Amino acid sequence: MYTERVIEHFRHPHNMGKLANPSAIGKVGNIVCGDVMWLYIRVEKDDQGRDVIADVSWETFGCTAAIATSSMVSDLAKGKTLEEAIAITNQDVAQELGGLPPVKMHCSALAADALNEAIHNYLSDRKMPVPDALRRRHEKIEKDVAALDKRYKAFLDREQTKGNTAAAGESAPCS
Amino acid sequence: MPDRVYLDNSATTPVAPEVFDAMRPYFDSAYGNASSLHAFGREARRAVEESRATIAEFLHVLPEEIVFTSGATEADNLAILGSAYAPGRSGGHIVSTKIEHHAVLHSVDWLTSHGFEATLLDVDATGHVDPDQVRAALRKDTFLVSVIAGSNEIGTLEPIAEIGAICRERRIAFHTDAVQAFGKIDLPTPSVDLLSASAHKLHGPKGVGLLVVRKKTRISPTMHGGGHERGRRSGTENVPGIVGFAAATRLAAREHDEVVARMRRFRARLMEAVASIPGTRLNGHPTDSLPHIVNFSFQGIEGESLVMRLDEQGIAASTGSACSSPDLEPSHVLVAIGVPLSMAHGSLRISTGRQTTDADIDRLLDVLPRVVKDLRDLSPFKVGEATCTPSE
């Protein structure tokens, strides 16, 4: 079902955990779907004065593919200029892993989205110009999240009315 | 992989050596078609009928009330679709529950898209169906009630005898999917009109199941052909499979007390040990349960990852996680018992078999806390933290 490279990244994920002093965080996914990805980036100037992703890490709640794509996108983004990192797509992530089963392709999209969101947040937090393509993707991700929230409102409401106080992993406080 | 530990016996079980031995001659020496007139055929027929008698005796039903099928999915389909299209019926209402196996749920769904109506009952937080709710859901046109005997996901046992009595009173057919319960608990077959079971959950072969159809229960066949199984299920009998099913049943009856006592002990051990890992919950009923199934949720981690990590350590278990299903929603059973979403994706089903040993359970309990910690280290949801904002 999974390629050897997927299994390898799942077994020994790269760049996992929190990042000390991140410049920005991208948070994507939905607890109802069972995938939540938080991607941390630290941006620094390189010797040519360009913004570079000096360090990257992630925390992921999800399946084998979600963990492997998190690991892969962090490898792909590390050391890249923001411009280069913006160009990383879900196809790049899936391809580098030797492919993903069709039902798991959303995991690669999630990984690319997390990177997109982290860069978007980095730029917009600093009132820096956000490239059009990045903004469009950000708007689409936000729309998708809203659609999911709407679709799963019944699920989430039911849980809230039950007065469930489970501390971790609640959907509502994450969004 | 050396020393693999198999704790997924509710998915399937190894064929027991004596079952395999009983089946073997029917592949290459006594290979006749049980419908043939000649000696080869008569030999096969004798084997099928002796097997039928063995299983009938075990279930306290008549041999002619047993219809062999290709498995429990076919048996469930035959029970539900066969009742819906029984001679003389047109349309009507079915009562079932939200925690049925998909073989039942999707059959009922299919009927509702073909002019039938259905009520799917809720269950309580442990997975129990309330017989009073069954009674309240019955309508004038209700022709079938279908309730699982013991949940394949969480193990909870349902009040089959009580529900059967209510149906009897109202002259409504009652079906139970007893796939996991068969051979594990005493099934109240007198209260049941239709009952599905499968051989491979009980150390028998895959590809053979049965539907008990009590004498006065009318069903229409769903397989049409040469009129086998008294016209209720056409298709050449799977002779080695049926012989294997009977051998597995005999074995289960002989070993029942010893094996079930061991399974109960394993289940209690697992419940106690997992409770000591923070952020866990038992899904299902602590005691009113099938002996071989136990289901836990682990906060902050996802079930498929957990199963894969255990697999790396040579341990086979399963999850109710939906992450390989297209809709990505968590298990319908866990949702029905109200497992919080933060935990519904992180479920682990452990199921034991006659071959399971204390050493297998030791091995799982040695590995499990480490694997849970390892995956929680990767997760943004930290167990015990008040919110899920990152703590920097």
pLDDT tens figures, B101-154 = 999 999 999 999 999 999 999 999 999 999 999 999 999 999 999 999 999 999
Tokens 């939905």, residue?
A: A30
Q: Count how many residues are written for chain B.
A: 392
Of B42, B73, B17, residue with least CA distance to B208: B73
Is A33 labeled as catalytic in the residue annotation?
A: yes
DSSP β-ladder status, A35-45 and B173-177: unpaired
Task: Using pLDDT thresholds of 50, 70 and 90, give the confidence band for residue B362.
Answer: very high
Indicate the pTM of the whole model: 0.91
Report how far residue B192's alpha carbon sits from residue B59's, in angstroms, rounded to the nearest whole number: 11
Q: Where are the CATH 3.40.640.10 domain residues in chain B?
A: 17-251
* B305·A64 Cβ contact <8 A: yes
* Interval A76-115: pLDDT, tens: 999 999 999 999 999 999 999 999 998 888 889 999 999 9
User: Distance from CA of residue B63 to its chain's centroid?
Assistant: 23
Rounded CA Rg of chain A = 16
CA distance A105 to chain B (A): 11
pLDDT band at A167 (very low <50, low <70, confident <90, very high): very low
**B141-170: per-residue pLDDT in tens?**
999 999 999 999 999 999 999 999 999 999
As a whole number of angstroms, the distance between CA B361 and CA B373 comes to 19
* Active site residues per annotation of B: 323
**Which residues of chain B are in CATH 3.90.1150.10 domains?**
5-10+256-378
CATH class of the domain comprising B17-251: alpha beta
- Residue A175 contacts residue A38 (beta carbons within 8 Å): no
Buried-exposed string B17-41: b where 16+ CB fall within 10 A, e elsewhere:
eebbebbeebeeebebebeeeeeee
Closest Cβ–Cβ partner in B323, B378, B381 for A168: B381
Note the pLDDT tens digit of each residue in B247-263.
999 999 999 999 999 99
Whether A10 sits inside 8 A of B308 (CB atoms) is yes
Residue B328's pLDDT is what? 65
pLDDT score recorded for residue B326: 56
The conformation of residue B350, written as its DSSP 8-state character, comes to: E
Residue B338: CB partners within 8 Å, gap ≥ 6? Answer: A158, A162, B125
Interface test with A, best of B337, B342, B385 (most A CBs within 10 A): B342
**What ipTM was predicted for this assembly?**
0.85
pLDDT of B2 higher than 60: no
Q: What is the mean pLDDT of residues A135-145?
A: 91
Q: What are the chain B neighbours of A101 within 8 Å (beta carbons)?
A: 324
3-class SS of residue A68: helix
Q: What is the pLDDT of residues B162-193, one digit of tens each?
A: 999 999 999 999 999 999 999 999 999 999 99
Quickly state the pLDDT bin for A172 (edges 50, 70, 90).
very low
Catalytic annotation present for A174: no
Pairwise CA distance, residues A66 & A112, whole Å: 11
Q: Over the Cα atoms of chain B, what is R_g?
A: 22
Residues 275-304 of chain B with CB under 8 A from chain A are 279, 299-304
CATH superfamily of this structure's domain B5-10+256-378: Aspartate Aminotransferase, domain 1 (3.90.1150.10)
The residues in B 311-370 lying below 8 A from A, measured between CB atoms, are: 312, 321-326, 328-330, 335, 338, 340-343, 345
Q: Nearest-CA distance from A63 to chain B in Å?
A: 5
To test the contact with chain A by mutation, choose from B283, B379, B385, B391 the residue with the greatest count of A C-beta atoms within 10 A, namely: B379
B100-125 as b/e: b if 16+ CB within 10 A:
bbebbbebbeebeeeebebbbbebee
Q: For B304, which of A17, A22, A63 is closest by C-beta distance?
A: A63
What pLDDT band is residue B32 in, cutting at 50, 70 and 90? Answer: very high
At B202, list the tokens.
């009980």
| Position A42 pLDDT exceeds 60 | yes
How do beta strands B117-121 and B280-283 pair?
unpaired
**CA atoms of B351 and B357, how far apart (whole Å):** 12
Per-residue pLDDT, A159: 62
pLDDT tens sequence across B37-61: 999 999 999 999 999 999 999 999 9
Dihedral sign, Cα of residue A105, residue A110, residue A111, residue A115: positive
Round to whole Å and give the CA distance between B124 and B174: 21
pLDDT of residue B6: 98
**Dist CA B94 CA B120 (whole Å):** 8
Q: Is B342 within 8 Å of A32 when comparing Cβ atoms?
A: no
What are the structural domains of chain A?
4-162 (3.90.1010.10)
List pLDDT tens digits, range B279-322: 999 999 999 999 999 999 999 999 999 999 999 999 999 986 55
Q: What are phi and psi of B345, to 5 degrees?
A: -85, -15
Between CA B47 and CA A34 the distance in angstroms is 49
Q: Is the confidence at residue A163, as pLDDT, over 80? A: no
